[in-house]
Amino acid sequence: MTTHDITRRRTLQALGSVGALGSLTACAVPGPVAPAPRRLGRVMVVGAGFGGATAARYLKLWGGAGIEVMLVDRNPQFVSCPLSNLVLGGSRRIEDLTVGYQGLREQGVIVLNDEVTAIDPGKKKVILGKIADQTYDRLIVAPGIDFNFGAIQGLDAQAQKTVLHAWKAGQQTVDLRRQLEDMPDGGVFVMTIPGAPYRCPPGPYERACQVAHYFKTRKPRAKVLVLDANPEIMSKKGLFTKAFNELYGGIIEYRPNSNVTEIDARGKVAITELGDRVRADVLNVIPPQGAGEIARKAGLVNANNRWCQVDWVTMESTAAPGVHVLGDATFSAPAMPKSGHMANQHGKAAAAAIIEGLNGRTPQPQMMANTCYSFIDDRNVVHVASVHRYTPEKKTMETVSGSGGLSAAPNLLEGVYANSWAQTIWRDMFA
């Protein structure tokens, strides 16, 4: 939370306590009725993940009764992608990562379990699958990512039933864990990594470690083969390289520059663009990614035909005034990862900008921080952290020199920090 956030929160808490009425005596006459709060407007939020849920909560926290906040998500509960690799490793259950929306409802956010089928920025209207169309004064779109399945020949709808990505935490995470459990000792787990950018840069390498940890403890003859489209490990390179070679030597084989462009789902074969054919007992294909499909339908995708460009002061789309885009769907600023923590920061920045704008004030740029934890086994963790600030001359966020940091080695204390981080950020999103 930035200093600006803390100041705003304390101010609103103080204002909320002013004017509280004492009890009336039998002879007293009612005092003047407090005026209704000035209506600021209605904000619709599409997507209840790290960005959208945070934005909805802070809009209501800062805007109070003067602002109506409606949050829409197709899922009845939130399931965290961070820590979901631990389900594959066997040290967590999917239920441990699942949070309901009741806390937001108790704070006055209207939460709808519905599908947004279209957005009309010109008419300021959202079309829903179950209930009537809704209008808004401001719109936040936090759709996460969707996959370009067509980039991988053979990964059609039928193949997707057995060749899983599990890159959106939920049922596929559980199903992929079951595939690992059913795999024979001595079998091979093959995971593909798309070219960057993609959601959670260190996530695939953490997944390799989690699966290798499971094999090391339960199926010691099994192997993990990582086919990475990138030329090298994209995050925490030295730490993951050491873990692959030393902790999981003989279990993990890492192959860079191995872009998988075709699969044979029935034969469980991954085929690289160079024609290499790699057979798996369990095939885990993570396809190339872009902004969630609803952003594309709304005309918000305007960078590389994949991502949404934003004004980093307000998180407002450069393609549609009055529409703010958060999280993984954005065209990231330099060195800004697509992470849950970063989306949480986007949510607060957008909420602050919208409240300022609805009050007729000029939004101010926010500092943003990020921390990504990666579990090397079930308890030892490494992290990378960074701080970003707005540079007016370049109109983007840049990493603050000397900020952040990187673990020296995996350790148990950072495992405690990682679990605490998850609990804290979920409370920050949902109270």
* Residue 26's pLDDT band (cuts 50, 70, 90): very low
Does 24 have pLDDT greater than 80? Answer: no
Residues 272, 278: contact at Cβ < 8 Å? yes
Q: Which residue do the tokens 């070679």 mark?
A: 245
Dihedral of the alpha carbons of 289, 58, 65, 35, in degrees to the nearest 10: -140
By CB neighbour count within 10 A (0-12 exposed, 13-18 middle, 19+ buried), where does 96 fall? middle
The mean-pLDDT minimum among 24-28, 113-117, 328-332 falls in 24-28
Q: Which of 129, 154, 217, 213 is nearest to 381 (CA)?
A: 213
Q: Parallel, antiparallel, or unpaired for β 277-279 and 269-272?
A: antiparallel
Residue-wise pLDDT for 154-176, tens only, equals 999 999 999 999 999 999 999 99
pLDDT(2) > 70: no
Tell me if domain 37-74+114-148+288-362 and domain 150-285 are identical in fold: yes
Query: Which tokens is 21 given?
Result: 């009425």
Give how far Cα 401 sits from Cα of 82, 200, 201, 312, 407, Å: 27, 22, 21, 19, 17
User: For strand 98-99 and strand 125-128, is the pairing parallel, antiparallel, or unpaired?
Assistant: unpaired
Alpha-carbon distance of 397 to 387, in angstroms, equals 10
Specify the amino acid at residue 178: R
Count how many residues are written for the chain.
431
The phi and psi torsions of 418 (rounded to 5 degrees) equal: -65, -45
Q: The CATH number of 150-285 is which of 3.30.70.600, 3.40.50.620, 3.30.1330.120, 3.50.50.60? A: 3.50.50.60
Q: In which band, very low, low, confident or very high, does the pLDDT at 16 lie, cut at 50, 70 and 90?
A: very low
Mean pLDDT computed over 94-115: 98
pLDDT of residue 38: 82
Class of residue 410 by CB neighbours under 10 A (exposed 0-12, middle 13-18, buried 19+): buried
Domain segments of the chain: what residues? 37-74+114-148+288-362, 150-285
Superfamily of domain 37-74+114-148+288-362: FAD/NAD(P)-binding domain (3.50.50.60)
Q: Which pLDDT does position 36 carry in this prediction?
A: 57
Model confidence, pTM: 0.91
pLDDT at residue 31 is higher than 70: no
